[in-house]
Amino acid sequence: MTKKDQKIRCPECGEVELIRDYERAELICTNCGLVIKEKMMDFGPEWRIFDKEQTKERVRVGAPATYTIHDKGLTTVIGWKDKDIYGRNLPPIRRAQIYRLRKLQRRLSVSDVIERNLVFALSELNRMASHLGLPKNVKESAAVIYRKAVELNLIKGRSIEEVTAAAIYAACRQCKIPITLDEISEVSRIEKKNLGRNYRFLAKKLHMLFPPANPIDYVPKFASELGLSSKVQNMAISIIKQASAKGITFGKGPKSIAAAAIYIAGMLMEERRTQKQIAEVARVTEVTIRNRYKELVEKLDLKTL
DNA sequence: AAGACGAAAGTGGTTGA
DNA sequence: TCAACAACTTTCGTCTT
């Protein structure tokens, strides 16, 4: 926590204690569970720092090796000035030498097509991840997934953007971050269906079959976008739990279930939101919410709640 | 007038032959 | 590879608040 964080108060209840959820990139109130800031950037240091000594030490180590830079950030850079370390001009022979070295290094560092594509892909990946406000660990796993895809020659016949976007989606699934294909397709130029196809292809080839997303994961996200209290969230979650215990949720879209549960919880807790509002944040149609909601009410006997 | 409801037709993806 | 199928969407008319 930096000083800046401590000055932020929860607008709902005035609570000062806030927690940062780096996994979800959210700033959350410890008292009422309100998500104050979403999609925040991760400005923190790479490692945890425990005392002043370490602050100095850790700052001095430089940037950590990262998969999001094509050579993992381990390049040597030859300066462009023809001066030595004392600032004197170099003799002509030395200058020619350095010139050749620079030229060589330029070619070596981004030599073949694969490397050049990797540079492009990773910059795309960084761009998209920033737009989506994804935390660093997700970016890293997306980069790792992309690298694996390159190794296995899965890029052929697919555009770099497609695979990059799919890698991000896969990374989010892996890190249990609720995200929709729509959200990714908004920040890339890839259509949703294309994205889904590529994701499945990647997942299959890389043997990363993730269990279908859990509706509960979507609840905090949707609820905070709708400005609903934590009471409604808890109610929605308990509805989902009951539903999945009865096997109603099986085979249904997780977003639909979460949306319907929030709708019901909102009505029960007198924090009603219209189907349209919920449909918008959940990115499903009102009709779907209605169908799920009808089903839930029927099978869970919610009149007793 | 806005929201909720539901019927009907259409879409894209999965599955099984 | 194709057809059947479930989930979901789109569209639109009707009822309710």
Higher pLDDT, A76 or A188: A188
Averaged pLDDT for residues A33-38? 57
> Is the distance from CB of A218 to CB of A282 less than 8 angstroms?
yes
- Residue A261 in tokens: 């549960």
Q: Residue A40: pLDDT band by 50, 70, 90 thresholds?
A: very low
> Chain C positions under 7 Å from a protein CB?
6-12
Domains A1-59 and A215-300 fall in the same CATH topology: no
Higher pLDDT, A116 or A233: A233
Q: Residue A305: pLDDT band by 50, 70, 90 thresholds?
A: very low
Measured distance between the N- and C-terminal CA atoms of chain A, rounded to whole angstroms:
40
- Which phi-psi region, left, alpha or beta, contains residue A133 (left: φ > 0; alpha: ψ -120 to 50)? left
Least confident residue range of A58-72, A75-89, A100-114, A213-227: A58-72
Task: Determine the protein residue whose CA lies at the shortest distance from the C1' of C7.
Answer: A252
Mean pLDDT of chain A: 74
Whether the per-residue pLDDT at A150 is higher than 70: the answer is yes
Q: Strand C: which residues have Cβ below 7 Å from it?
A: A 251-253, 256, 283-288, 291-292
Whether the per-residue pLDDT at A143 is higher than 50: the answer is yes
The domain segmentation of chain A, as residue ranges, is 1-59, 113-205, 215-300
Flag whether the pTM goes above 0.75: no
Residue identified by tokens 């409604």 is A232
Q: Return the pLDDT at A15.
A: 55
How far apart (Å, rounded) are the C-alpha atoms in residues A189 and A91? 51
Whole-number Cα distances in Å, A186 to A34, A38, A132, A197, A276: 26, 17, 9, 16, 20
Least confident residue range of A58-67, A221-230, A265-274: A58-67
Q: Return the pLDDT at A198.
A: 82
Q: Return the pLDDT at A72.
A: 65
Q: Return the pLDDT at A156.
A: 75
Superfamily for the A113-205 domain: Cyclin-like (1.10.472.10)
| H-state helical runs in chain A | 3-7, 52-60, 92-109, 113-132, 136-151, 160-174, 181-187, 192-205, 215-225, 230-245, 254-268, 275-282, 286-300
Our measurement of CA A235 to C1' C2, in angstroms, reads: 45
How far apart (Å, rounded) are the C-alpha atoms in residues A61 and A49? 13
Q: Which CATH number fits domain A1-59: 3.40.120.10, 1.10.1060.10, 1.10.287.3510, 2.20.25.10?
A: 2.20.25.10
For the A215-300 domain, the top CATH level (class) is: mainly alpha
CA dihedral A228, A231, A237, A240 (to 10 degrees): -90
Averaged pLDDT for residues A100-115? 66
Q: Return the pLDDT at A113.
A: 67
The count of C-alpha atoms lying within 13 angstroms of the C-alpha of A133, restricted to the half-sphere facing its C-beta, is: 15
Whether the per-residue pLDDT at A164 is higher than 50: the answer is yes
Q: Return the pLDDT at A19.
A: 55
> Is the distance from CB of A179 to CB of A169 less than 8 angstroms?
yes
> Is the distance from CB of A154 to CB of A170 less than 8 angstroms?
no
CA dihedral A263, A264, A270, A275 (to 10 degrees): 30
Our measurement of CA A178 to C1' B7, in angstroms, reads: 33
